[in-house]
Structure 1
Amino acid sequence: MKTTTQKNQKQTVLITGASGGIGYELVKLFAREGYNLVLIARNGEKLVQIAQELNQRYSIAVKVITKDLSNPASPEEIFQELQQEKISVDILVNNAGFAIYGLFNETDLNTELQMLQVNMVSLTHLTKLFLKDMVKQGYGRIMNVASTAAFQPGPLMAVYFATKAYVLSFSEAIANELEGTGVTVTTLCPGPTESGFQQRAAMEDSKIVNGKKLMNAETVARIGYTSLMEGKTVVITGIKNKILAASVRFGTRKTIAKIVRNMQETVTSDQ
């Protein structure tokens, strides 16, 4: 990992979903490297606590903005607040996202509409808002956090898998458009990761996570950070996840859906 430089001390990183999991681990990595930070999450109390910890350990500026990205107005409100304070964002990390587990005809519609807003619409909106200035200045980095779910359909998490497929496709496309501008776009595709994600999705009993040793958020964040700095376009964390993502090319979409369905089913008492 590169050492802190005078250049990056002057740069600012905006991270959504910064209060826990992969987002929080990314916050710590950027702080150690001397970047100023803008932290976005719903849990304002936790963000303030994180900011206080960072201010005590590092000579950086940390701004906290409490926003729920399921609110369509949030991206514009974040952008305008930073514009008013003349804070320029050099690196944008769209990490916020969540899932819901269950059969599509039984899951809650309002929760899924919120998921679409957070995972896709707010991510796209924030990227649109901050990208223009990055291109103008001839420098910038964007990390969009997708998932290995992006590579196949996902029965029992149908909407979540579809949102991550969007993130991957969108990010790869604009990465191509931005070649030669000085702005890079990296899509981080982790597999199941130790965090609060599974609990929020109510999927702790699914076979894909129950009793499994999951990659920890710190490792995922470090891989993502390094890949972002290297300007890589798509990054899948872990050998097993890379193999699984590549294997979808060797079966029909219907067969892959059946395999994923089996992996996602709830563990039964006789197993």
Structure 2
Amino acid sequence: MALPSPSPATTAVVTGASSGIGADIARELVACGHGVTLVARREERLRDLANELSGAVRVEVIACDVADPEARATLFDEIADRGLSIDILVNNAGIGTMGAVEQSTPGDEIAQVRVNVEAVIDLTTRAVQQMVPRGRGAILNVGSTAGFHPFPGQSGYAGTKAFVHSYSEGVRGELEGTGVTVATLCPGPVRTEFLQSAGMDEKEFDAFPKFLWMPSRDVAKVGVDALENDRGTVIAGVQNKLSTRLMQALPRKVLLKLLAGNHPALRRDSKSVG
């Protein structure tokens, strides 16, 4: 079992825990007996979740913007000041942009990299350097099926998730035999606040085939199972596994034309330009 045993002196840090997959991963970890430290920008939402989860395990709340290097630098120190060591880290915080690059805002694209790439490197590095000397620990990085191939309409987002996949696998290889493991959770489309924050409305959700959608709680279970059983990279849902493999097998020219022609954000941008 790769997931460390629960202990009153240890905690599982979950970033992006205020809603969606992050909140459900926290619920799953608490159900397994782990204390959790909920991290996100919206403290009120975190406290609501903490009230729901409090009981048999210790639940901590830390409001932190992981895009801010200074905030990240003090996060683990604050946890240590509370008398806790980090046995589990879940890098779930993420943001995404949608639309054609020619219509994008450079600042938004860079902000996406800060959260999806920079924060993952920073927090993973800090966690590994604490976990390896203790000989125990587990890290779950949340990627996406979008990271397995180019994704016109979400080019920057898919690029950041491709990084998460490659980086996580590399670190996993480095840590073999140390007692510390890394898993990567790759969801397909999930109906959470993430897509709305990225600029997609309810009508545009239908552009993604209905059979690919999964509830966030089911995705969270896949992620925690990946840690428990040391599975490495996992794609959530058989339907998403098959879809991803199919797209990888298609000639790149065909794939790009298919994806660009069907992404709702590109159709929207095309109308606005025309």
TM-score (normalizing by structure 2)? 0.89
Check conservation: 1:192, 1:209, Cα contact below 8 A: no
Q: Would you say 1:94 and 2:122 are equivalent positions? A: no
1:80 to 63, 77, 80: 77
Q: Would you say 1:162 and 2:159 are equivalent positions? A: yes
Check conservation: 2:148, 2:248, Cα contact below 8 A: no
Give 1:117 shift.
0.4
1:118 to 94, 115, 125: 115
Q: Would you say 1:31 and 2:18 are equivalent positions? A: no
Unaligned runs of 5+ in 1: none
**Aligned partner of 1:183: which letter?**
V
User: Hey, what does 1:261 align to over in structure 2?
Assistant: 260
User: Where is the helix percentage greater, Structure 1 or Structure 2?
Assistant: 2
User: Hey, what does 2:57 align to over in structure 1?
Assistant: 60
- CA distance in 1: counterparts of 2:66 and 2:7, whole angstroms: 28
Change (3 A) 1:252 1:91: same
Check conservation: 2:189, 2:208, Cα contact below 8 A: no
State the secondary structure of the residue aligned to 1:40: strand
User: Hey, what does 2:16 align to over in structure 1?
Assistant: 17
- CA distance in 2: counterparts of 1:186 and 1:256, whole angstroms: 28
Change (3 A) 1:247 1:60: same
* Aligned positions of 1:239-254 closer than 5 A: 239-254=238-253
- CA distance in 2: counterparts of 1:244 and 1:76, whole angstroms: 39
- CA distance in 1: counterparts of 2:44 and 2:187, whole angstroms: 27
**Aligned partner of 2:87: which letter?**
D
Give 1:212 shift.
2.9
Q: Deviations over 1:185-244 (max 9, x none)?
A: 100000001211111111234466468352110110011111111011110011221112
- CA distance in 1: counterparts of 2:210 and 2:6, whole angstroms: 38
* Aligned positions of 1:101-140 closer than 5 A: 101-140=98-137
**Aligned partner of 1:212: which letter?**
K
- CA distance in 1: counterparts of 2:153 and 2:28, whole angstroms: 34
How many residues are paired up? Answer: 262
Q: Deviations over 1:37-63 (max 9, x none)?
A: 1110011011112112222xx221111
Which aligned segments of 4 or more residues in structure 1 are displaced greater than 4 angstroms? 207-211
User: Hey, what does 1:8 align to over in structure 2?
Assistant: 6
Change (3 A) 1:144 1:203: same
Q: Would you say 1:50 and 2:49 are equivalent positions? A: yes
- CA distance in 1: counterparts of 2:148 and 2:241, whole angstroms: 11
User: Hey, what does 2:220 align to over in structure 1?
Assistant: 221
TM-score (normalizing by structure 1)? 0.90
Change (3 A) 1:209 1:226: farther
Q: Would you say 1:172 and 2:165 are equivalent positions? A: no
Check conservation: 2:207, 2:264, Cα contact below 8 A: no
User: Hey, what does 1:141 align to over in structure 2?
Assistant: 138
